[in-house]
Amino acid sequence: MDHKKSQRIFKQSQKLMPGGVNSPVRSFAAVGGGPVVIARGTGSHIWDVDGNEYVDYVGSWGPLILGHAMPQVVRAVSETARNGLSYGAPTRQELAMAEMITSPMPSMEMVRMVSSGTEAVMSAIRAARAYTGKDKIIKFEGCYHGHSDGMLVKAGSGVLTFGVADSAGIPEGYAKNTLTAQYNDLNGVEALFKANKGQIAAIIVEPVAANMGVVLPKAGFLDGLRRIASRERALLIFDEVITGFRLAYGGAQSVYKVTPDLTCLGKIIGGGMPVGAYGGRQDVMGVISPVGPAYQAGTLSGNPVAIAAGIATLKALKPSIYKKIDSLAAELEDGLSSAAKRVGTPVTINRAGSILTMFFTSRQVVDYPSAKKSDLKAFGRYFRDMLEAGIYLPPSQFEAMFVSASHTQSDIKKTIDAASAAFKRTFASKMDS
Ligand code: KE4
What percentage of the chain exceeds 90 in pLDDT? 90
Identify the pLDDT of residue 213.
Answer: 98
Query: Domains, the chain, ranges and CATH?
Result: 4-65+318-432 (3.90.1150.10), 71-316 (3.40.640.10)
Q: What predicted TM-score, i.e. pTM, was given to this entire model?
A: 0.96
The pLDDT tens digits of the residues spanning 395-432 come to 999 999 999 999 999 999 999 999 999 999 877 665 55
Radius of gyration of the CA atoms of the chain, in A: 21
Residues 192-214: what's their mean pLDDT?
96
Give me the chain's average pLDDT, please: 95
Indicate whether 387 pLDDT > 80: yes
Residues 297-310: what's their mean pLDDT?
98
Ligand 1 centroid to 358 CA: how many Å? 19
* Any ligand 1 atom below 6 A from CB of 23: yes
DSSP for 134-169, written as a single string: --EEEEETT----S-GGG-BS--HHHHHTT-SB-TT
Identify the pLDDT of residue 432.
Answer: 59
Phi, psi of 391 (to 5 degrees): -120, 120
The pLDDT tens digits of the residues spanning 314-369 come to 999 999 999 999 999 999 999 999 999 999 999 999 999 999 999 999 999 999 99
The pLDDT tens digits of the residues spanning 11-49 come to 999 999 999 999 999 999 999 899 999 999 999 999 999
* Any ligand 1 atom below 6 A from CB of 61: yes
Identity of the amino acid at 396? S
Identify the pLDDT of residue 167.
Answer: 84
Identify the pLDDT of residue 426.
Answer: 74
Ligand 1 centroid to 194 CA: how many Å? 31
**DSSP bridge pairs for 358:** 349
Active-site positions? Answer: 144, 239, 267
The ligand 1 atom at the shortest distance from the C-alpha of residue 266 is 4
Ligand 1 centroid to 341 CA: how many Å? 32
Identify the pLDDT of residue 256.
Answer: 98
Identify the pLDDT of residue 155.
Answer: 52
